[in-house]
Structure 1
């Protein structure tokens, strides 16, 4: 049986390739095929995590010219919701008395509905939006200046313009979600809790933020020591000597 070179128009996952190579190696070992086919190896792309500290985000939001985009950006960094989840949010999906919003399964990337706790920043945004539209929370004024229109997507050019105005490069609207997640991890939110808050499907999806919170390991660093523990034991008198005294 002959096989040609395996190639793709996009780089597959390294893990999938490793599995395929192992299967083919076994096929050669079992004499099912004459030799291994040539497989192009690809490197898995680096996970992009782009976030900014609170003062920078505050300055960025203030630099956004459009009021509706400013409110959407603030709501994004306050809740960690994705742009589509925010723009499709209706008043029937929020309960300000209980400080919660709900993302429907149809809008969630994971196709799982979830509750989103609302902090003071998010509630303040909702209060300012109240009364503008009967059903939609985030809308913008139509060209006539009288009616309001549904927002289909974030104005990426306006967001980029605000970034340039304050000297930020390579920062996109979705990075507000990364900023929200990074802030949670640095404040001590466990990764499993963050997974549920952000609506990620697998824990591996939030592992990319784990390095931002090394403090959760600090309590265990003194469990195993060598030099300092030995020095401390030498300074303490033997138990028998202490009893005899």
Structure 2
């Protein structure tokens, strides 16, 4: 018996390819909410690694992989997502399946802080005027609710409770996997009422078919006419959050409304309204004001 066989690893395991590891990974993780994203990433990774035996993949191979992704224009965050998936597969091949002795080290690149790009209400009104009706309604819903693009475009009439003024986004369509209850303000309700009767299933449609994408030529041209630069659809969510914070909505409420799992993601908006913290800090004055003749003296 060879040493590898004694350790649980056979000679045939040493001949395994990355393609085999990727296929087994997909079989074992098909229950994941993000399994479709893994599949998309593996199509690209496979072009570089599928033919390679696992034991031949080393740190130099992985540096070349990261370099190839950067060469296609991907930023540090995107490159890291691809490398993290590759690392997870190689680690499982080593630790769980025992196909290789150990997984090579994968170094992730430093990532810049997430950008917060938002527009003013006046800019938003200008943009809305430049958009065609179907995109205007989609944009209004995003600004009124803070919903992500996939949730706005995927909104169905069965998700809407007009009586309770609530829309439901279920866990299989949210980023954190949890159901999200979205309060519908007057702006959102006006859009929904205007869209009624246009499609039996989906809220947002164009020419009788559900909207599939927003980043179209008409969207980009509308931004240009409105004089708005460096702005993505997701920045509508940043805009919604920024407006609420500036109107003194507490961060814990914003976190609940936006369905953020981590408070860290919400704190990036805190600087937009420092007066909110000052107002809450001043509440302690009331405790001392109860007895202005105390040993502390009048306050």
* TM norm structure 2: 0.59
**C-alpha distance in 1 between matches for 2:232 and 2:109:** 27
Partner of 1:124: 190
* 1:91-102 equivalences in 2 (<5 Å): 91-102=157-168
Q: Displacement of 1:101 after TM fit? A: 0.3
Moved over 6 A (4+): 4-7, 221-224
Q: Displacement of 1:182 after TM fit? A: 0.3
Query: Among 122, 128, 135, which residue is 1:55 paired with?
Result: 122
**C-alpha distance in 1 between matches for 2:174 and 2:267:** 20
User: Is 2:133 the counterpart of 1:67?
Assistant: yes
**C-alpha distance in 2 between matches for 1:222 and 1:203:** 23
SS in 1 for 2:199: coil
Query: Residues 246 and 272 of structure 2 are in contact (CA less than 8 Å); yes or no, is this contact kept in structure 1?
Result: yes
Query: Residues 169 and 182 of structure 2 are in contact (CA less than 8 Å); yes or no, is this contact kept in structure 1?
Result: yes
User: Is 2:196 the counterpart of 1:135?
Assistant: no
Q: Deviations over 1:15-36 (max 9, x none)?
A: xxxxxxxxxxxxxxxxxxxxxx
Q: Displacement of 1:178 after TM fit? A: 0.4
SS in 1 for 2:173: coil
* 1:206-245 equivalences in 2 (<5 Å): 206-219=266-279, 220=281
Query: Residues 156 and 173 of structure 1 are in contact (CA less than 8 Å); yes or no, is this contact kept in structure 2?
Result: no
Q: If each structure's helix is expressed as a fraction of its own residues, which one has the higher value?
A: 2
Query: Among 149, 155, 162, which residue is 2:222 paired with?
Result: 162
* TM norm structure 1: 0.71
By relative contact order (CA 8 Å, sep 6+), the higher-ranking structure is 1
SS in 2 for 1:128: helix
Q: Displacement of 1:151 after TM fit? A: 1.5
> What is the RMSD computed on CA atoms of the aligned residues?
2.9
Query: Residues 159 and 172 of structure 1 are in contact (CA less than 8 Å); yes or no, is this contact kept in structure 2?
Result: no
